[in-house]
A and B are shown apart, each in its own frame.
Chain A
Amino acid sequence: MVDIVPLSSYPSYIDLLPSIQTCNITNLPENYFLKYYLYHALTWPQLSFVAVVRPKGGYSSKGAKAGDVSGHYPKVAGYVLAKMEEEPTDGMQHGHITSLSVMRTHRRLGIAERLMRMSQRAMAESHRANYVSLHVRVSNVAALHLYRDTLRFEVEKVESKYYADGEDAYAMRLNLESMWMDWKAIEARDRENAKDEDADEGEPVGELGKKDAAEDDKMVRVKVGRGLGVGDLVEKNESQQS
């Protein structure tokens, strides 16, 4: 039996990363350094999910938390590694599936679908993603069936020679707005709470909450594929001498 668990929630399953990497390199030709997985887990911790083979006799909780399975290292049967597009060309907040795979021994059990649905929901809830996009090999019939027929993705276009071996990709997307949270209701509740606490209404937004723009632009944009990782996360001007 397979459990679908979040990569990084409460408690954290981050110790599965080496096993996720192994699952990827066993199944797919597109591989990444562990650091790239870390980069996903630490930038969009809500979006990635793992399918693990439930250990015999279940998990015995080692930590203080009720569901703490750290240190169990169950076998990873599949994963979805997801992100938010950092500089969307169309200006629309949207999620992107970086990589998804399920071990051949566990295919056709609906695992990929569950992984995708969990990730999609998190994209909508946490990041208010307008849509989620992904690429799929034009020859990958099973994946195409999942995305188009089961999950209702639409083919946006064909990207010629997208893969390193020269194969074309379908660029697909699915609208997620129906799963958005009602932020207006939340903010109404905020106002209620503020009224209860203090009649004196404060500024709507604290300036201090905003990030420092000067500090923000130091991140180098990360490339897709194997070229990214170590060097690309390093700040450009780490030893500014001025």
Chain B
Amino acid sequence: MPQQLSPKDHALFRQVVRNFELKQYKKGIKTADQVLKKNPNHGDTEAMKALIMSHLGQSEEAFALAKEALRHDMKSHITWHVYGLLYRQEKNYEEAIKAYRFALRIEPDSGPIQRDLALLQMQMRDYQGYIQSRSAMLQARPNFRQNWTALAIAHHLSGDLEEAEKILTTFEDTLKGTPPVADMEHSEATLYKNTIIAESGDLARALEHLEKVGYRCTDVLAVMEMKADYLLRLDRKEEAAEAYTALLERNPENSVYYNGLILAKGIAESDHNALKALYDEWGDDFKQAVDAYLQRMLKKGVPSLFANIKSLYDDPAKRDTVQALVEGYVSGKAAQANGSSDSENEFLASSYYFLAQHYNYRLSRDLAKATEYADKAIALFPKSVEYQLTKARIWKHYGNPAKAAEEMEKARLLDEKDRYINSKAAKYQLRNNENDKALDLMSKFTRNETVGGAMGDLHEMQCVWYLTEDAEAYLRQKKLGLALKRIHGVYNIFDTWQEDQFDFHGFSLRKGMIRAYVDMVRWEDRLREHPFYARIATSAIKAYLLLHDEPDLVHGPITSGANGTEITDDAERKKALKKAKKEQQRLEKIEADKREARKAAAANAKSTVDGEVKKEDQDPLGNTLVQTKEPLKDVMKFLTPLLELTPKNIEAQTLGFEVYLRRGKHALALKCLSAAHAIDPSNPTLHVQLLQFRKALDSLAEPLAPQVAEVVNPEFEKLLPKSQDLTQWNESYLSANKDSASHVQAALTVRQLLDKESKAQCEKDLVASLDALKISFDDAVSGLDLLGEWGSDKTAFAEKASKKWPEASAFQLN
């Protein structure tokens, strides 16, 4: 039996509840203790105390107390409700929902419990449960519009558009007269209903409805966009053209509207004259006016001119026209530059700068010329951040990250108050694997108040670009602990972003901006489709694969032998390992000292506001992460969303293969191969993997389970038939792709896997591949890495490559 409180204690209990609501946490605890002193087993008070404790960051103690509370009073909706709230805070939503359900069974009419349950159901996308909850809430309070809207959303998202529309209409029918224009909730609700009609596919009815209600919706732009879209899809071309013209009048800088207009006018993409006429009308005819435009912008000294023009370069004729024009400006002006007016100097410098960018650009690259022009521009205006920044970019393209970082640092020093150039300088330090220097630069713009210093601040401010670059730099250095630390940091930020939607399930209903809310819900469902996620997940998979293949890396990077070869000698290996361990201990010591220093500083400082304690990161070096016993299991949380949300990313598929093959999951490995094959059948990585899979099937320790074999064998037969002569298969791949270095590298790898004796020939062919027609700097670096994998001497390759890329650092072996 639960304890009964005296009237006085009951009043105190109500005081606890109020304290909590007003965020008077410390007072609340005091009052609760007063009650518990006389009634030590009063469940509701214990529960409230637990809830307050959890808000003070004492989640473990709070949980223990909440369990105690529940034991003392199983029949109280408060104890169950609090139990659910604590689970929710721990993000254990399944358990939270269960607890809420118990609470609701005890107190079926409780609004707050019902609402908390509904919010979680939405968060968990339990649409059927959400429909039930929202129906109950509507029944309890049918006079609130948001309860109707919420039920409509529930049906809409669950896929029942008809029911959703019906509910919105039912509410509209209860309105006496039309609400005022200022009633945005009404305005939004009608547009929301309109999008539901459109989604049902009945565009004619959607358009009709829009004509009826659109004139009084204050989101004018949205109404215009909806109308244009409906008309175009209804093939009412003349009206659609009018609608897109109206949109362009409002905002001429949106190419989506041009595309709409082109479709509406039925202009074929190949009909250049018609296209030109259309763009002319909007003053966007670049080609004809390019001379005047360039001169005007160069005179104004607009630094971003090239960024705006380079999109034309897909057309080589346009590219050459621009090049000839600007080269003409400088050869004409250069002769008279010295001693002439400032404005002429500025025009000349802008032109030099433009040409430096032009020759640095992928589609018109000539790095020697780029350097020449950058230097000339800098000579005229040594204080220009942009000119100096371009110099750094040129060095990046030369393949010399150290020099690039150095030049970018010069640019930064020209404007130390500008965060953009500071960010770039930090990024270039990271590309040069200078993690500490980079962080030092970043700290000039972070607050450095959080427990973890600048790095803690970058995490808190969700600075994904930096954490990603930092991770990649550590991965290049094979510092896997720190790499994994940053990778998980970014992973957690994505979790936070997913979590962020929670408060809006209630908030948006009150604000009434339903369309934006529904768009947000749908976006959250594909959050990890973002390229930021693909990039960090790719690094994560590479890191875990490396850790699985080379478990010694848990102790930090192992230095390689002379000439860049891998260490094969056992004694030498042991020595290197010992060195790595020593280095690791040194780093741990540094971190421990830092921690001590912070502790001492914190003890001196005043206690934090409102008793909130920020937790110190116990593992700043990522040791716990890297010491995992199951890297191939840990990697799955990165791989699964990657394959699910970006299946057309071929690198995701080939990495997926590597993971699944190592895990002995042959069917899943093959699924990745098939997907990669569908994207690009001649992909170099795929070519190697096809053979690896063949070999894996041929050398199984025990045969595949019959149901697996039934899927795998016929499917793989389509990609690489068993009867296929493998040498012939590989050599024909090689001859079909002989102009591409990356394909040649793949074929040579396969050749060696088929015939160990071919190693010497492969090495020779690999050096020869440096002459391939299609070879990028990155390809050449991969070639060098490949020699490392083969355990071959890199000298010949590096010498030849350094002749081709004399400024690059990758081929300077010593």
Chain A residues in contact with chain B, CB under 8 A?
Answer: 1-6, 8-12, 14-15, 18, 21-22, 25-29, 31, 33-35, 38, 41-46, 54, 56-59, 64-67, 69-71, 73, 103-109, 114, 118, 121-122, 125-128, 139, 164, 181, 183, 186-187, 189-190, 193-194, 201-206, 208-209, 211-212, 215-216, 218-219, 226, 230, 233-242
Give the CA-CA distance A69 to B423 in the complex, in Å: 29
- Contact bitstring B109-132, A, C-beta under 8 A = 1, else 0: 000100010000000000000000
Assess whether B183 is in contact with A66, with CB atoms less than 8 Å apart. Answer: no
A187 to B178, CA, bound (A): 9
**Contact status B233-A226, CB under 8 Å:** no
Q: How large is the interface on B (under 10, 10 to 19, 20 to 34, 35 or more residues)?
A: 35 or more
- Which residue numbers of B lie inside 8 Å of A, CB to CB? 14, 17, 20-23, 44, 48, 51, 78, 81-82, 85, 112, 116, 143-146, 171, 174-186, 195, 215-216, 218-222, 225-226, 228-229, 232-233, 250-251, 253-257, 259-260, 263, 300, 302-304, 307-308, 311, 314, 385-386, 417-421, 423, 445, 447, 461-465, 496-497, 500-501, 503-504, 506-508, 510-513, 515-517, 519-520, 523, 526, 529-532
In the complex formed, the residue of A with least CB distance to B77 is A241
Q: How far is the CA of A223 from the CA of B44 in the complex (A)?
A: 34
Given the known inter-chain contacts A235-B506, A241-B48, please indicate yes or no for A202 contacting B176, CB distance below 8 A: yes
24 intermolecular pairs with C-beta atoms under 8 Å apart: A2-B308, A10-B225, A22-B465, A22-B532, A26-B423, A29-B445, A35-B500, A38-B501, A41-B520, A42-B516, A45-B219, A56-B311, A56-B314, A71-B526, A73-B530, A104-B386, A126-B218, A208-B171, A209-B185, A216-B510, A233-B503, A235-B506, A239-B20, A240-B21
B506 (CB) vs chain A CBs: closest residue: A235
Query: When chains A and B are docked, how far (Å) is the Cα of A208 from the Cα of B170?
Result: 13
Contact in complex: A22, B228 (CB < 8 Å): no
A219 and B503 CA atoms in complex are apart in Å by 11
The one of A22, A29, A183, A233 that contacts B419, using a Cβ cutoff of 8 Å: A29
List B contacts of A9 (CB < 8 A).
Answer: 219, 221-222, 225
Q: Considering the complex, give the chain B residue whose CB is closest to the CB of A114.
A: B253
For the complex of A and B, the 9 pairs showing the least CB-CB separation, nearest first, are A202-B177, A12-B519, A45-B516, A206-B175, A209-B179, A104-B420, A67-B256, A202-B176, A203-B176
Interface centre among B176, B513, B519 (most CB of A within 10 A): B519
Q: Is the CB of B145 within 8 A of A107?
A: no
Question: What chain A residues lie within 8 Å of B385 (beta carbons)?
Answer: 104
With a CB–CB cut-off of 8 A, which chain B residues contact A38? Answer: 500-501, 504, 520
Report how many A-B pairs have Cβ atoms within 8 Å.
263
A126 and B220 form a contact (CB under 8 A) = yes
B313 nearest in chain A by CB position:
A56
Inter-chain contacts of A3 with B (CB < 8 A): 253-256
* Nearest chain A CB to B184 CB, angstrom units: 8
Distance in Å: Cβ of A221 to nearest Cβ of chain B: 13
CB distance from B772 to the nearest CB of A (A): 25
The residue that A206 contacts in the complex, of B177, B503, B529, with Cβ under 8 A, is B177
Indicate if the CB atoms of A242 and B17 lie closer than 8 Å: yes
A64 CA to B504 CA, complexed, in Å: 26
A136 to B564: give the CA distance in the assembly, Å: 54
CB-CB under 8 A from B386, the residues of chain A are 104
**B307 and A106 contact, CB distance less than 8 A:** yes
Contact A209:B145 (CB < 8 A) given known A3-B255, A3-B256 = yes
Given A22-B464, A43-B513, A54 and B520 contact (CB-CB distance below 8 Å): no
CB distance B510 to A215 under 8 Å? yes
Could you list 16 further interchain pairs (A-B, Cβ under 8 angstroms) beyond the known A57-B314, A238-B85? A2-B253, A8-B516, A18-B464, A22-B464, A26-B420, A38-B501, A43-B513, A67-B256, A70-B523, A105-B304, A122-B221, A193-B178, A230-B500, A233-B503, A235-B506, A238-B112
